[in-house]
Amino acid sequence: MQRVELSAFGLSNLRFNEVPVPAPAAGEVLLKVMACSINYRDLMIANGHYKTDIPLPLVPLSDCCGVIEAVGSGVSDFAPGDRVVSLLWQDWLSGPLCADQRTQSPGCETTGVLSEYAVLPATGIAAAPESLTAAEAACLPAAGLTAFTALTTLGQLQPGDTLLTLGTGGVSLFALQFAKAMGANAVVTSSSDEKLARARDLGADHTINYRLNDRWGEACFELTGGADVVVETGGAGTLNQSMAALGYSGRIAYIGGLAGFAGETSLMPLVIKNASVHGITVGSKADHLRMTRFVGQHQIKPVIDRECSFAQSIDAIAAIGEGAHFGKLVVSF
Ligand SMILES: NC(=O)c1ccc[n+]([C@@H]2O[C@H](COP(=O)([O-])OP(=O)(O)OC[C@H]3O[C@@H](n4cnc5c(N)ncnc54)[C@H](OP(=O)(O)O)[C@@H]3O)[C@@H](O)[C@H]2O)c1
């Protein structure tokens, strides 16, 4: 079978390699991979900007949808023919995160899924929603679940509340779709008026171009009276405006670093607004299963910017850094 391997940090060190199809050991399943989605994390890992104490060569990507070909001994929850998705945190099954539940994720600490076949522990997969194609289901594990836990477990978003979500990447558009399905109002920012028009088509109530208005957070507060939940994908470079956008008693779900990981800021606005900022690291398997039910109930279709072939997948990892996409980039086999 063919798989992609990263032999050393740097995108130019990604190559296709031919290896034997692996056999599942006890407690594992063998998947025939049908689709993978690419996350910003995958680009950071490949460039050595995420974690550097990981085993090389590494097969990239955490998120896939596939069909089970074979199961190892002791696997009773799944059978050959089942259509499943990978989970990002393989050992965070439920409850609040503990230190030993954030140690195993495909495409980083363990072998990833950009491969014609992949072996995963049976605990680290979940049934794919029947309402979704393989390409759509492959978008759920990281981007979908991160947005879902930001709005539910952390955000406690209620009907009539206001969500602010930054940019039009994978996490942000899931947040928009989930918020609208929950009956909330949604504000979306983007660097592109064309992308903002597409966000309005998806239900965004207000849109702000952050390139044209660097006080987009204050603009959001004026438009809405303050956001109840902010999906903070920008990080340190956007936090000041996110706090300006936040309503009294609001919650910032601190997720990404698209606008930088460190910077000068004062958290005093949180004191004044009796508000909070809370980190999110995707979610547990129990959260994933709740999201899957929600996606099915509300017939939510992940937004895919484009699907590429396995042969084009290395270029697609590079493309995520260009930021031209609206929603998810997917590799279909
Ligand atoms: N903590 C977690 O569990 C977790 C999980 C998933 C992702 N993440 C992180 O969250 C971030 C988003 O991930 P993703 O997969 O959604 O990425 P993505 O799909 O690559 O999103 C990229 C988009 O973000 C927007 N963006 C870039 N710079 C921005 C800025 N300065 N202000 C506002 N928006 C900006 C752009 O939207 P426009 O083109 O519309 O401007 C860009 O197209 C990344 O940093 C990722 O590593 C964290």
pLDDT at residue 304 in the model: 98
Q: What is the mean pLDDT of residues 141-155?
A: 98
Could you report the per-residue pLDDT of 245-297, keeping only the tens digit for each? 999 999 999 999 999 999 889 999 999 999 999 999 999 999 999 999 999 99
**Residue 81 domain-assigned (yes or no):** yes
pLDDT class of 201 with cuts at 50, 70, 90? very high
Domains contained in the chain, number: 2
Cα–Cα distance, 243 to 218 (Å, whole number): 9
User: Which residues lie below 8 Å from residue 192, measured CB to CB, with a gap of 6+?
Assistant: 168, 209, 211
Of ligand 1's atoms, which has the minimum distance to the CA of residue 320?
20
pLDDT at 197: 98
User: Is 291 inside a domain boundary?
Assistant: no
The enclosing domain of 159 has a CATH number of 3.40.50.720
Same domain, 270 and 319: no
Residue 194 has a pLDDT of 98
Its domain, for residue 228, covers: 144-279
Of the residues 258, 278, 284, 325, which should be mutated to test ligand 1's pocket, given the most ligand atoms within 8 Å of the CB? Answer: 258
Among the atoms of ligand 1, which is closest to the Cα of residue 282?
3
Q: Does 242 share its domain with 129? A: no
Mutating to test ligand 1, I would choose from 37, 38, 40 the residue with most ligand atoms within 8 A of its C-beta, which is 40
What mean pLDDT comes out for the span 176-203? 98
Residue found under tokens 């993978």 = 36
Binding site membership of 41 for ligand 1 (Cβ less than 6 Å): yes
pTM for the model stands at 0.98
pLDDT tens, position by position, 29-71: 999 999 999 999 999 999 999 999 999 999 999 999 999 999 9
pLDDT at 180: 98
**Is the CB of 62 within 6 Å of ligand 1?**
no
Ligand 1 atom 21: residue of nearest CA: 169
The residue contributing the CA closest to ligand 1 atom 9 is 256
150 in any annotated domain: yes
What gap in Å lies between CA 321 and CA 70, rounded to an integer?
A: 36
In a domain, 290, yes or no: no
Residue closest via CA to ligand 1's atom 26 equals: 167
Contacts of 145 (CB under 8 A, 6+ apart): 88, 282, 283, 287, 288, 291
